[in-house]
Amino acid sequence: MKILLIQPPPNTEFGLLRLGRIEPLGIECIGAALEQDEHEVRVVDMRVDGWSSLQSQYETFGPDAVGVACQFMTDVYSALHVGGFLRALDPKVTLFVGGHHATLQDNDFMFKGTPFDALVVGEGEYTSRNLVRALRDGKPIHTVPGIITPANRHKGFQPGETVDNLDKIMLPARHLTKRYRNKYHQANRVPTAAVETSRGCPFDCNFCSIWKFHGRQVRHRTPSRIIDDLNSIEEANIFFTDDIAFLHHSRYKELGNRIKDVGVLRHFAAETRADLVVRHRDLFELWYEVGMRTIFMGIEKIDNDGLKSVRKHTDKEKNALAIRILQDIGIRPMPSFIIDPQWTEEDFDRLEAYLEKMQINQSTFTILTPLPGTDLYETYRNRIVTHNYLMYDVLHTVLPTKLSLERFYERVARLWSMTAKHQRIGYKAVRSALRLHLRGAGFVFWRLIRGLRELRDPKAFLEIPVEYPPPGVVKFAQILEQQ
């Protein structure tokens, strides 16, 4: 069978969302699983391609089924619009949707009048494969475990199979995104490839739904399998997509030593917890030797009461020590902080003082957002002031602010200006832009410039972050609002 997999276009690329575009690893993993059954698979990444390209590729390929990804709440409208666009183009094609948000909020896709025939719940490698097998064999898809349809949504749904051993699944089918790969970047690191070394998280932060998606379980790929994956990648820049990398010392020590022995060093970036940096300093010293240069850490709050309020299960002393350790080693710490809409001027002052004291030159700031599927949503759902999904990019508030909205965003923008003060356009920036241009990646420089300018401009925050307003997006936004 012919299967088309689609990464929908962004409804918004406001600010921080312009600073990176990571390859659609989930789609590549599903593509690899489908190719095991000798299906012909193609991928359209609409973050790069436009609507006319989607139509021409669809008509040329003539797929039997189409899968659309929806990982984030801000992708819902565009995923629905892609479905509606293709349903109008071909009323008979089987359309299915899947991903993190789609799994946690199936009502966003399984409503009366939806363009989709099915929703893949949870991890897609096994379930998507079984769905396509049922289509090939002429069997009813609502009987496939892990598949929600209008017919079984309220009765008859059976959970799908979970990937118990990540080594069992095929390596991502990166050849499916070959023509896009020079467009994937993390900041000015282009091209950047994404690698998964583990899945899941054992913690239960109340603002996060990842631990719920994975049932608070963590599964790891073996170092040998990760080495196989790295050896198949041409890119020099690697981003570990793990929810928490370096969770188990022995696994990452073995992996680091094997990379060191092979002698093929990369520029690595990953996300982890501050307490793991404190506990495993020797591990990060080893990874610095093999190319680890950036670590993203969810510091979230600068005091212990704040950390308890989000169930971070760490303390301010460990957070500060982790930043110092990475700075001493030579790895750039990229801490992230959560801004509460109920903050006063004094709360913003305290965070600014902390950034100065810790000599943090680069960090990120997200606004406390009760995303559906999180415990925080259950706590704050009656206080939410907007249900416009485009505002749920964690850069805009969907809750009431104690300061005036204008002043709140002035303070948020000031934080971004403060932490990015060493990123002014000077000699190094011009030299970097020239190098990017000579490599055919000048677009990255302008994406970064535009994103940083937006984050430093309080007026930009007050505008609804719509990148494009096709009628289909408006239509489905109205349907969801009325539910």
pLDDT at 77: 92
Longest dimension (CA), the chain: 65
Architecture of domain 2-148: 3-Layer(aba) Sandwich (3.40)
Please list, in sequence order, all residues whose beta carbon lies within 8 angstroms of the beta carbon of residue 428, skipping any fewer than 6 positions away. Answer: none
pLDDT in tens, 188-234: 899 999 999 999 999 999 999 998 888 888 999 999 999 999 999 99
Q: Which helix (H) or strand (E) element contains residue 185?
A: strand 185-186
* Residue 467 DSSP SS3: coil
Rounded to the nearest 5°, which phi and psi values hold at 75? -95, -5
Q: Closest Cα to residue 274, out of 359, 347, 226, 331?
A: 331
Spatial distance between the Cα atoms of 141 and 133, rounded to a whole number of angstroms: 9
Query: Angle at which helices 471-482 and 76-89 pack, to 10 degrees?
Result: 120
| Letter string b/e over residues 436-462, b meaning 16 or more CB atoms within 10 A of that residue's CB | beeeebeebbebbeebbebbbbbebbe
The residues spanned by each domain of the chain are: 2-148, 184-383+396-420+456-461
Low-confidence ranges of the chain (pLDDT < 70): 420-440, 466-475, 477-479, 481-483
Q: Cα(75)–Cα(8) distance, rounded to whole angstroms? A: 7
Strand partners, 297: 272, 335
User: Residue 442: what pLDDT?
Assistant: 78
| Angle, in degrees to the nearest 10, between helices 25-36 and 124-137 | 40
Q: What's residue 14's pLDDT?
A: 87
Contacts 24+ apart (CB under 8 A), 377-384: 379/206
Distances (CA, A) of 40 to 2, 35, 147, 264, 481: 5, 7, 22, 33, 38
Which uninterrupted H or E stretch holds 297? strand 292-300
Per DSSP, the residues of 82-139 read: HHHHHHHH-TTSEEEEESHHHHHTGGGTSSTT-S-SEEE-S-HHHHHHHHHHHHHHT-
CATH number listed for the domain at residues 184-383+396-420+456-461: 3.20.20.70
pLDDT for residue 13: 85
pLDDT at residue number 435: 67
CA distance 261 to 221: 19
Instruction: Count CB-CB contacts under 10 A for residue 98.
Output: 32
96, 132 contact by CB (below 8 A): no
Contacts of residue 193, Cβ cutoff 8 Å, sequence gap at least 6? 23, 174, 181, 184, 233, 234, 235, 237, 238, 239
- Give, as one character, the DSSP assignment of residue 353: H
